[in-house]
Amino acid sequence: MAELETINIGIFGHIDHGKTTLLQKLSGKWTDTHSEELKRGITIKLGYADIIIYFDSKEGYNISRKGEKVRHVSFIDAPGHEMLMATMLSGAALVDAAILVIAANEGIKPQTSEHLMALKAKKVENLIVVQNKIDLVDEKTARASYDSIRKFLGKEYEKVEIIPVSAQQGINIDEVLRAICEIKVGERDLKSAPVFVIARSFDINRPGSLPKDLKGAVLGGSLKRGRLNVGDEIEIKPGRREKDDVGVKFFPIKTRIKGLFVGSENVSELTPGGSAAIETGLDMALGKADALSGNLASTVNGLPKAVSNMKLKYKLFPEVFGTGGHLKVEEIKKGETLMLSINTSVVGGNVVHITDSELEVSLKVPAIVFSEDNLGIARNVKGHWRLVGYGVVC
């Protein structure tokens, strides 16, 4: 996998439109692996699946190892359930490209609109639309659905390909693989200090493991820029959370990289693109239950200081998406509480200053941000956090 160009692709869309079924057909793997997900049938934590796409002159694009290797893909299955917008935004923060799944028999749903807005907020330009479940409708309905999707995408995504698919029946899966292989990704930044975005953290040790066999906490996520090597000393920020009588404090964590993994492959060096895992020298308890998700990792002193205040140039959407109606987005007010999606974390903050184009937010917990980072802005609408706009860090 190391010699192939690797990209992260997020799969987005409404809860029942067949995202996870599509992903299974594209990869041969279900991402619904957590017990709660299996009970509820929805993807809660970001699901991952790694594949290699091959091309053969007779078989076309395939994952059956026929022909030449063309591309290594890490799929991220973001949840379509309305209560899980924060996790969906975390997925959008990790991707190079996205697949938006829209069922031909149901059309555009509130969460479909919200997911498209999230992709715009995170400046995801590479998009493929899968018009799924075409086996459930007649030709006239399929064409009407196609036309409504084209109109829904608007001018910003007017050149996006819409592929009619039946994930359940395996129809046109090869066309989706082709479109994935045609995605052009910009040149990777290998020279800057590394920035690894942590989406998951876990303890991989089995009960009863001997002390000599114990592994350190594992970080799952994606390297956005730079390089990381086995043996590097890294720093995790904002870091370990500690609460005292005064409030909550964060302390950066230093550790050494014990192992690097891309898919199931053990590698000595990590470069940007694809999902990856870092085995650390940290106590396994520190990584349990995604305790370190939302942090960033880099070489020591490679990350800026965490901030508690930040300024954004912001833009609001015309309406609140995800509510099922046409609710106008009201202007942001001083003193209002917002939720900001920063990398793979969602942080609350109070608006302390605002103009027509800029706002200043006092964060409830410190965060690591870079100039020009794109953040999603959500506010509480009728008891639910809804995406209402996006901002760029000044």
Angstrom distances, CA of residue 126 to CA of 168, 230, 393 = 25, 32, 22
Mean pLDDT of all residues in 366-394: 89
pLDDT at residue 81 is higher than 60: no
Instruction: Tell me the per-residue pLDDT of 11-30, one tens digit each, with 9 for 90 and over.
Output: 888 878 888 889 889 987 65
Residue reference for tokens 């994952």? 63
Give, in degrees to the nearest 5, the angle at Cα 176 between 173 and 178.
110
Rounded to the nearest angstrom, the gap between the alpha carbon of residue 12 and the centroid of all alpha carbons in its chain is 9
Contact 117, 32 (CB under 8 A): no
Report helix angle 110-121 to 139-153, nearest 10.
40
Phi-psi region at 317: left, alpha or beta (left = phi > 0; alpha = psi -120 to 50): beta
Task: Quickly count: other Cβ atoms within 10 Å of residue 161's Cβ.
Answer: 13
* Count, residues in the chain: 394
What per-residue confidence (pLDDT) applies to 318? 87
Quote the pLDDT of residue 381: 87
Do 83 and 384 meet the contact criterion of CB atoms below 8 Å apart? yes
pLDDT tens digits, one per residue of 285-305: 888 888 898 899 999 999 999
Mean pLDDT, all residues of the chain: 86
Environment class of 206 (CB within 10 Å of its CB; exposed 0-12, middle 13-18, buried 19+): exposed
3-state SS, one letter per residue, for the chain: CCCCCEEEEEEEECCCCCHHHHHHHHHCCCCCCCHHHHHHCCCCCCEEEEEEEEEECCCEEECCCCCEEEEEEEEEECCCCHHHHHHHHHHHHHCCEEEEEEECCCCCCHHHHHHHHHHHHCCCCEEEEEEECHHHCCHHHHHHHHHHHHHHHCCCCCCCEEEECECCCCECHHHHHHHHHCCCCCCCCCCCCCEEEEEEEECCCCCCCCHHHCCCCEEEEEEEECCEECCCEEEEEEEEEEECCCCEEEEEEEEEEEEEEECCEEECEECCCCCEEEEECCCHHHHHHHCCCCCEEEECCCCCCCEEEEEEEEEECCEECCCCCCEECCCCCCCCEEEEEECCEEEEEEEEEECCCEEEEEEEEEECCCCCCEEEEEEEECCEEEEEEEEEEC
Looking at domain 307-393, its CATH class is: mainly beta
Domain boundaries, the chain: 6-181, 195-299, 307-393
Q: Do domains 6-181 and 307-393 have the same CATH topology?
A: no
With a cut of 90, say whether residue 358 has pLDDT above it: yes
CA torsion sign for 348, 389, 197, 297 is negative
Q: What's the confidence (pLDDT) of residue 42? A: 32
CATH architecture of structural domain 6-181: 3-Layer(aba) Sandwich (3.40)
**How many degrees, rounded to 5, is the angle at CA 371 between CA 366 and CA 374?**
80
Give Cα 50 distance to the centre of its chain.
14
Residue 35's pLDDT is 43
Q: pLDDT digits over 190-225, tens only?
A: 999 999 999 888 887 778 878 887 888 989 888 999
pTM: 0.84
Output the pLDDT for position 78: 60
The second-level CATH assignment, the architecture, of 195-299 is Beta Barrel (2.40)
Which residue type is seen at 178?
R
pLDDT tier at 276 (50, 70, 90 boundaries)?
A: confident
Question: What is the sign of the dihedral through the CA atoms of 137, 140, 142 and 145?
Answer: negative
In terms of average pLDDT, the best of 20-24, 80-84, 253-257, 373-377 is: 253-257
